[in-house]
Structure formats: C-alpha cells, structure tokens
Amino acid sequence: MPYYDGRWHIFSESERRAYGERKRSELSKKWHAKWISKQGLKTERLWTDKAIVEFLGKPRQAGAIKAWQRKDVLAAEKTMGFKAWMRERKAWLIARGKLPSKPKRSKPTPPLPDNVIPISRARKH
C-alpha cells in the first residue's frame, strides 16, 4: 500500500492510471460501435461536408458531441445516389494522388519456405 497525500492507498498511482485508461478505452469502443462523428466520416469514410448535409442531415446529440448513428450512416451508404457520388469522389481523389489507385492487399503474402524457388526465379528448361 503506497502512502501519498497524507493517506494510505490500496492501489499505486500507476495502477490507478492504467485502470482509468482501460475504462476510458472501453467506453470509447462502446460509443464508436453506435455512433460516428463528423471527423470519423471525413477521415475514415471519405465523406465531405456537402455529402454529410445531403445524405445524412443534422446530427444528434451523442454525449458531449454531436454525431450520427452508425446504422443511419450505413443505410445512407447503401443508396444508389451515394454510391454514384462515392465513385466520383474516389476518382477525384485518385486523380490528385490523395488516394492510391490500387487498394492495399488486406493480407500480406507469407514468405516462401527455404526449399521453394519462386516461379519468377526458376530457370526454364
């Protein structure tokens, strides 16, 4: 039991901080499972201010900030109008070099075992 501020405490300061961080992280994950903020729409999902107003409308109060429910965002992204807009948006971003033209592979290819020669290096007989 550490002693500080004139009292004995059950947990040390580092244990108390770690517990607080863990709880904040759990609450954040819970919030993000239900809500998505304007910053999240713009950075993670490539939305613009105009598209937010056009396809989603006004946000709701979600705790300390205003946000949209994730289910409403997903429903808006399934509409034909949004899909057409997103195709144009991605083409615009690719043309300006702000988005890679080829999507990254989700899984890197595993390295080949030592006893295997790649086809590109194998000699043709």
Query: Domain locations in the chain?
Result: 1-35, 37-101
DSSP-derived letter for residue 124 is P
Per-residue pLDDT at 105 exceeds 70:
no
Average pLDDT over all residues of the chain = 86
Q: For the chain, how big is the Rg over CA atoms in Å?
A: 25
Q: pLDDT of 111-125, one tens digit each?
A: 767 776 666 655 555
Q: pLDDT of 48-102, one tens digit each?
A: 999 999 999 999 999 899 999 999 999 999 999 999 999 999 999 999 988 887 7
Tokens of 88: 């144009």
Give the global pTM.
0.68
- Burial group, residue 36, by CB count within 10 angstroms (0-12, 13-18, 19+): buried
Q: pLDDT of 17-63, one tens digit each?
A: 999 999 999 999 999 999 999 999 999 999 999 999 999 999 999 98
